[in-house]
C-alpha cells in the first residue's frame, strides 16, 4: 500500500507542473479619442534581452500598412506567418480591445515585456506606444500609453 | 506488485500526456527567441518617427486608402509608395490556428471583444 501511495505522489508531482504551464490572461487596450481613423496595433512580446519572442494579436488586416508598426516590423519583417490566425480589425478611436488567451506561465516573472506599436493614417506612427513587463505584480495595473493608447492592462 | 506496476504505468502515461505538450510549447518559445536572436536583437525605438510624406501620399490618390476596417475597400493597386514592400495579408483570426510561437499554450485562438 505504501508503495502504491508513493508511486501516486511521485507521478502526481510529475504531472502537475505540466498542467500548470498555462493560464488565461486578458489584455485590455483602450485607445484615446485622437480624432483619426482606426488604429493598427501590433501587440507582441520581447524577452529579457529585448529580442522579439512572438506576437499575441494584430489589429488591422492590410499587410501594406505594417511597416508603420515600426518596431514590430523591424523584428518580423512583416512576415504574415507571425500573425496568421491572430489578426482582426483595426481599433477605432476611443474604443477598447479586449483579448483573452492562454499564455505560457513561463512568460511571467521571467523578463518578458508586452509591447503595443500603433499607427493611424495621416498621423504620426507610434512604435512602442506602451510597454509593460509581464510580472505577477503588474497584473491588473493599467499603464498609460504615449500617443494613441490611453491604457494597457492585463489580468490573470 | 502487479497493482503497483499498473498504477505506475497509468500515471506515467498521464504525466507524459500532459507534460510533453507543455514542454513542447516551452521549447517553441525558446526556439522562437533563439531564431530571432540570429536576426538581431530588437532595438526598441525611444523616439517617434515622423510619418514622412505619409499624409501627402495618402491624399494624392482616391478615397479608398484607409487604415481602418470600417467599410472602406482599400485593396487598391495604386502605386502610391505604401505597397512597395507589400506582402500577403495575414489569415484572419478563426480561419487558421494561431502561430506555433510558444505563446499560445492550448493552440486555441484568442477570444477578442471590441467595445
pLDDT digits (tens, 9 = 90+) for A27-43: 999 999 999 899 999 99
B91 domain residue, yes or no: no
Residues A122, A130: contact at Cβ < 8 Å? no
Q: Which of A21, A68, A89 comes nearest B105 by C-beta?
A: A21
Domain for residue B11, yes or no? yes
Q: Answer whether residue B90 shows pLDDT above 60.
A: yes
The verdict on pTM exceeding 0.80 is no
pLDDT at residue A125 above 50?
A: yes
What pLDDT, on the 0 to 100 scale, is given for residue B94?
A: 87
Say if A109 is an interface residue toward chain B (CB within 8 Å): no
Is residue B53, in this structure, part of any structural domain at all? Answer: no
Question: Which H/E stretch holds residue B99?
Answer: none
Cβ atoms of A57 and A43 closer than 8 Å: yes
From CA B110, how far away is CA B94, in angstroms rounded? 9
Partner B contacted by A97 (CB < 8 A)? yes
First-to-last C-alpha distance (Å) of chain B: 60
Alpha carbons B64 and B71: distance in angstroms, whole number: 10
Q: Do A106 and B26 touch (CB under 8 A)?
A: yes
Grid cell 518617427 in the structure block, residue: B49
Instruction: Check B106 against A92: CB less than 8 A apart.
Output: no
Under the banding of pLDDT at 50, 70 and 90, the label for residue A69 is: very high
How many percent of chain A have pLDDT more than 90?
71
Contact of A118 with A138, CB cutoff 8 Å = no
Among A6-15, A75-84, A136-145, B31-40, where is mean pLDDT lowest?
B31-40
CA angle at residue A119 from B40 to B35, to 5 degrees?
A: 20
Please count the other Cβ atoms lying within 10 Å of the Cβ belonging to residue A116. Answer: 32
Question: Touching check for A35 and chain B: CB below 8 Å?
Answer: no
A70 CB neighbours in chain B (<8 A) are 45, 49
CB contact under 8 A, A99 and B114: no
Is residue B10 domain-resident?
Answer: yes
If you count them, how many residues does chain A have? 156
C-alpha cell at B99: 502561430
Total number of residues shown for chain B: 115
Residue B5 counted as domain residue: yes
Q: Is residue B26 part of a domain?
A: yes
Q: Which domain holds residue B9?
A: 1-47
Local confidence band at B115 (pLDDT 50, 70, 90 cut-offs)? confident
Question: If pLDDT is split at 50, 70 and 90, which confidence band does A109 have?
Answer: very high
Report how many domains make up chain B: 1
Do A78 and B87 lie within an 8 Å CB cutoff?
yes
Query: Which residue carries 496568421 as its cell?
Result: A84
Amino acid at each position: 500500500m505504501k508503495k502504491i501511495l508513493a508511486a501516486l505522489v511521485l507521478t502526481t508531482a510529475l504531472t502537475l507542473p505540466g498542467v500548470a504551464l498555462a493560464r488565461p490572461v486578458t489584455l485590455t487596450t483602450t485607445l484615446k479619442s485622437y480624432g483619426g481613423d482606426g488604429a493598427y496595433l501590433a501587440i507582441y512580446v520581447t524577452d529579457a534581452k529585448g529580442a522579439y519572442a512572438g506576437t499575441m494579436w494584430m489589429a488591422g488586416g492590410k499587410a501594406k500598412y505594417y511597416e508603420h508598426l515600426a518596431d514590430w516590423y523591424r523584428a518580423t519583417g512583416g512576415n504574415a506567418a507571425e500573425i496568421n490566425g491572430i489578426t482582426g480589425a483595426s481599433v477605432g478611436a476611443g474604443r477598447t480591445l479586449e483579448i483573452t488567451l492562454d499564455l505560457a506561465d513561463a512568460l511571467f516573472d521571467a523578463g518578458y515585456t508586452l509591447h503595443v506599436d500603433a499607427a493611424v493614417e495621416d498621423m504620426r506612427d507610434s512604435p512602442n506606444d506602451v510597454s509593460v513587463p509581464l510580472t505577477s505584480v503588474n497584473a491588473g495595473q493599467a499603464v498609460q500609453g504615449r500617443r494613441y493608447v490611453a491604457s494597457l492592462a492585463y489580468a490573470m | 506488485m502487479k497493482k503497483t506496476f499498473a498504477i505506475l504505468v497509468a500515471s506515467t502515461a498521464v504525466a507524459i500526456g500532459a507534460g510533453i505538450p507543455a514542454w513542447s510549447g516551452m521549447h517553441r518559445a525558446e526556439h522562437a527567441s533563439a531564431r530571432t536572436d540570429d536576426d538581431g536583437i530588437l532595438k526598441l525605438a525611444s523616439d517617434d518617427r515622423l510619418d514622412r510624406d505619409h499624409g501627402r501620399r495618402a491624399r494624392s490618390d482616391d478615397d479608398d486608402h484607409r487604415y481602418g476596417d470600417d467599410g472602406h475597400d482599400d485593396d487598391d493597386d495604386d502605386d502610391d509608395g505604401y505597397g512597395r514592400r507589400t506582402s500577403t495579408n495575414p489569415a484572419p483570426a478563426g480561419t487558421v490556428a494561431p502561430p506555433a510561437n510558444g505563446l499560445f499554450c492550448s493552440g486555441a485562438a484568442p477570444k477578442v471583444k471590441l467595445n
